[in-house]
Chains A and B, each alone.
Chain A
Amino acid sequence: MPFREAIRLAFQVIWAQKMKSSFSVIGVFIGVTFLIAVVSIVEGMNAYMTDRFATTLLGVNTFQLRRYPGVQMGDVSRETRREWRRRPRISFEDARAVVEGLSLPVVTAWESSSRADLSHDGKIAKDIEVVGATEDYFQIKNWDLEAGRPFSPQEAQAGQPVMVIGHELAERLFETRDPIGREVRIRGIPYRVIGVVETQGNLFGISLDKFAVAPALSPIKRIVNPARVVDALLVRAGSLEELDVAIAETEAIMRSRRHLRPSDGNNFSIETADAVLDFWGKINRVLMMALPGLVSISLVVGGIVIMNIMLMAVAERTREIGIRKSLGARRRDIMRQFLVESATLATVGAAIGIATGIGLAGIVQATTFLPARVAPWSVVVAIVLGGGVGVTAGLYPASRAARLDPVDAIRQE
């Protein structure tokens, strides 16, 4: 029997027994749905981590010198936390020494931040991230301004009370009015708004547009940090290679300033996006390692169900098999008919699973911050697995059918 004929026949049988067919493919359906949905969510998470999270928080080719890591992922023991708190902070002098000591051209900025309420003309914006920074902060952050300008080196040096604010904060305080030149108060201290940063979207659903940046030496230094220390020194190198050099030099400078012996560990932290991505990579691998197990369990169960359904089908259609044999069907014709039927059944289940998986990914995409994108490879794997399960599950029932004796089979009621 030609292949096309076998497939046509398979669809006929599957369609004629819709209930039984849908029941028999539940296992494959669940396995494939799971495969597509989980892979697309993990891949979406991956893309998100790489494209947005790491670079948003830490920047491209950028490292941060801090007292302890700013982005903490995974388990950090109490012991470690205690050690972190004993560390000295990064002082103005530390920051200056590192910037002067670096041999390659780099862009650097100080960063200290805290949360505070901002007010304008009776309107209050609560719990805004207030950052004390130096003039190149905007460049390192890759922020473009939608209005006004960043503060100048002179304003930074002199500690002028000027401020650049985020898009959402500007909307909240000024609504449709132009914020430039208007006064904003932080704990009673008046600041003049000189720029608005264009929208940065959100991260894990949290807006990235609710901040205010002012010169580190301006009056907010009393809010954001104890005297003469910074939260972080941000250093952006020209390339990944230069980044490594700058990190090595920074480490050497800091160790020497703090008189650390070779046996001592660093009492400061140098953080890059890589470290964060590494950690994400670990989670990713765990997920991807658990996935085949979960998918194979449902596929094995699905295969067993299909095998039983096919054995039932062979028993029910013994007479049909006898008739076909009496008309000239060879063993391989009967074998093929039932294998194709079983494979088609499983593939239809897989196809519905793929559609559902894509649908789930779409729902996740639409309702959460995750850019869940369906991985083409997972669709291919799903189809191959589905068809493979079908063929495997069909082998035994099909060979039973093929070996039936025509005289016995045709006598079956």
Chain B
Amino acid sequence: MAEQPLISLRGLTREYRMDAETVYALRGIELAIGTNEYVAIMGPSGSGKSTLMNVIGCLDTPTRGEYWLNGTEVSRMSDDELARVRNREIGFVFQTFNLLPRATALHNVELPLIYAGTSARERRRAASRALERVGLADRMHHRPNELSGGQRQRVAIARALVNDPSILLADEPTGNLDSVTSQEIMAVFGELHTQGQTVLMVTHEADIAAHAHRVVTLLDGVVHSDSVREAA
């Protein structure tokens, strides 16, 4: 198999036009990420980490440059095509969990499958299995307000996994958690990576980044450093 990266970004630029001035969030990102990598993105606040994750997660589109995912150019896709990529290829974990408050854990995890057109029976089966993978088999029928922060983030991870995505994206997934819970969540990511999941994670904490095998640092919207560490 020819070595084709899972994700390939070339000259990726994202500008925000405010009335008179233009804010440059990303200014020419060059980056390639391969299958089964575990990459941490670091950088000071405002360096463009979230913007980059949103573009890779197909929630946002670049102003200029190319974004290739699995050999297709995503940067030229229509709204509906992007929705389809988000649904099939991307699993996104947010700092603030972003669960639907009125829905049970199980229903939250089923959501991506609803938009994939999966049958109700298959949905329930896949969602239960995803919750089991993150250790929440006994909390399926709880609503978010009946769960701890760590449990909520696990539900969010299960939801990101349920469609068997090409890549798991996480933007500061431990940013709202205490350090003990953070370590638990990092253990979950580590376990998933061991099982073959590609993971791309934003963090500004060195001990969190230490779980990754490669650390990319952004500064003012460009890649400042990119270092691969020997696997532990």
Asked if B100 and A328 make an inter-chain contact with CB atoms under 8 angstroms apart, the answer reads no
Return chain A residues, CB-CB under 8 Å to B80: 330-332
Q: B83 contacts which chain A residues (CB < 8 A)? A: 325, 328-331, 333
> How far does the alpha carbon of A330 sit from the alpha carbon of B82 in the complex, in Å?
9
| Inter-chain contact total with CB atoms closer than 8 Å | 61
Q: Which one of A331, A333, A410 lies within 8 Å of B98 (CB-CB)?
A: A410
Residues of A within 8 A of B117 (CB): 2
Bound-state CA distance A407–B55 (Å) is: 10
Q: Is the CB of B111 within 8 A of A327?
A: yes
Q: Which of B28-36, B86-94, B217-225 contacts A (4 or more CB under 8 A)?
A: B86-94
Point out the residues of chain A lying under 8 angstroms from B99, CB to CB. 323
| Contact between chains at A328 and B87 (CB < 8 Å) | yes
Residue from A1, A12, A327, A330 in contact with B159 in the complex, judged by beta carbons closer than 8 Å: A327
Q: Does A359 contact B (CB under 8 A)?
A: no
CA A35 – CA B138 in complex, angstroms? 52
Partner of A326, one of B88, B98, B163: B98
CB atoms of B86 and A327 under 8 A apart: yes
Contact among A1, A320, A326, A332 for B86, CB-based, below 8 A: A326
Number of interface residues of B (CB under 8 A): 25
**Known A12-B102, A326-B92, A327-B112: A407·B79 in contact at CB below 8 Å:** no
**Is the C-beta of A324 less than 8 angstroms from some C-beta in chain B?**
yes
Q: Please tell me which one of the listed residues B57, B102, B115, B163 contacts residue A330 in the complex, with CB atoms under 8 A apart.
A: B115
B228 within 8 A of A: no
Q: In the complex, are the beta carbons of B115 and A327 less than 8 A apart?
A: yes
The interface bits of chain A over 1-20 (1 if a CB of B lies within 8 angstroms of the residue's CB, else 0) are 11001000000100010000
Say if the beta carbon of B84 comes within 8 Å of chain A: yes
A81 to B159, CA, bound (A): 86
Name B9-56 residues within 8 Å CB distance of A: 54
List, in ascending order, chain A residues with CB within 8 A of B115's CB.
1, 324, 327-330, 333
| B86 nearest in chain A by CB position | A328
Q: Which of A2, A16, A322, A330 has the most CB of B within 10 A?
A: A330
A6 nearest in chain B by CB position? B114
Q: Residue B57 contacts which of A319, A326, A333 (CB distance < 8 angstroms)? A: A326
Closest chain-A Cβ to B81's Cβ sits at a distance in Å of 9
Shortest Cβ gap from B116 to chain A (Å):
7
- A322 — nearest CB in chain B belongs to which residue? B98
> What is the interface of chain A mostly: helix, strand, loop, or mixed?
helix
Q: Does B60 sit within 8 A of A, measured CB to CB?
A: yes
Q: Which residue of A lies closest to B162 (CB)?
A: A327
Against B, the Cβ 8 Å flags (1 = close, 0 = not) of A291-326 are 000000000000000000000000000011011111
- Quick check: is A406 within 8 A (CB to CB) of the other chain? yes
Please give the distance in Å from A114's CB to the nearest CB on chain B. Answer: 77
Beta-carbon contacts under 8 Å, B93-144 to A? 94, 98-100, 102, 111-112, 114-117
Report how far A333 CA is from B84 CA in the complex, Å. 12
Q: How far, in Å, is B127 (CB) from chain A's closest CB?
A: 12
Q: Is B59 an interface residue (CB 8 A)?
A: yes
Q: Are B98 and A323 in contact (CB under 8 A)?
A: yes
Q: From B89, which residue of chain A is reached at the shortest CB distance?
A: A328
Cβ of B94: which chain A residues have Cβ within 8 Å of it?
A: 410
Whether B60 contacts A407 by the Cβ 8 Å rule is yes
Q: Contact check: which of A5, A323, A331 meets B114 at CB < 8 Å?
A: A5
**Which residues on A sit within 8 Å (CB–CB) of B54?**
407
Min distance, Cβ A387 to any Cβ of chain B, angstroms = 23
What is the bound-complex CA distance between A333 and B111, given in angstroms? 12
Question: Is there an interface contact between A331 and B79, defined as CB atoms closer than 8 Å?
Answer: yes
Which residues of A269-297 are within 8 A (CB) of B?
A: none
Q: Which of A194-225 contact B (CB under 8 A)?
A: none
Contact residues in B for A329 (Cβ distance below 8 Å): 83, 115
Q: How far is the CB of B16 from chain A (nearest CB, A)?
A: 11
Contact yes or no, A328 B88, CB < 8 A:
yes
Taking the closest CB of chain B, its distance from the CB of A10, in whole angstroms, is: 13
- A330, B79: Cβ atoms closer than 8 Å: yes
* B-facing residues in A104-127 (Cβ within 8 Å): none
Scan residues 321-361 of chain A and give those whose CB is less than 8 A from a CB of chain B: 322-333
Residues of B within 8 A of A328 (CB): 83-84, 86-88, 112, 115-116, 163
In chain A, positions 354-413 with a C-beta closer than 8 Å to chain B are: 406-407, 410
Q: Given A328-B115, A331-B79, A410-B94: A323 and B102 within 8 A (CB)?
A: no
State whether A324 and B79 are in contact (beta carbons under 8 Å apart), knowing that A12-B102, A16-B102, A407-B59 are contacts in the complex. Answer: no
Report A206-249 CB contacts with B as 1/0, cut-off 8 Å. Answer: 00000000000000000000000000000000000000000000
Residues of B within 8 A of A325 (CB): 59, 83, 86
17 contacts between A and B (CB under 8 A): A2-B117, A5-B114, A12-B102, A322-B98, A323-B99, A323-B111, A325-B86, A326-B57, A326-B59, A326-B86, A327-B112, A327-B159, A328-B116, A329-B83, A330-B115, A410-B59, A410-B94
List 20 additional contacts besides A331-B80, A410-B59; criterion CB under 8 Å: A1-B115, A16-B102, A319-B98, A324-B111, A324-B115, A325-B59, A325-B86, A326-B57, A326-B59, A326-B92, A327-B87, A327-B111, A327-B112, A328-B86, A328-B163, A329-B115, A330-B115, A406-B59, A407-B59, A407-B60
Instruction: Name A's B-contacting residues (CB within 8 A).
Output: 1-2, 5, 12, 16, 319-320, 322-333, 406-407, 410
Which B residues lie at the A interface, using CB under 8 A? 54, 57, 59-60, 79-80, 83-84, 86-88, 92, 94, 98-100, 102, 111-112, 114-117, 159, 163
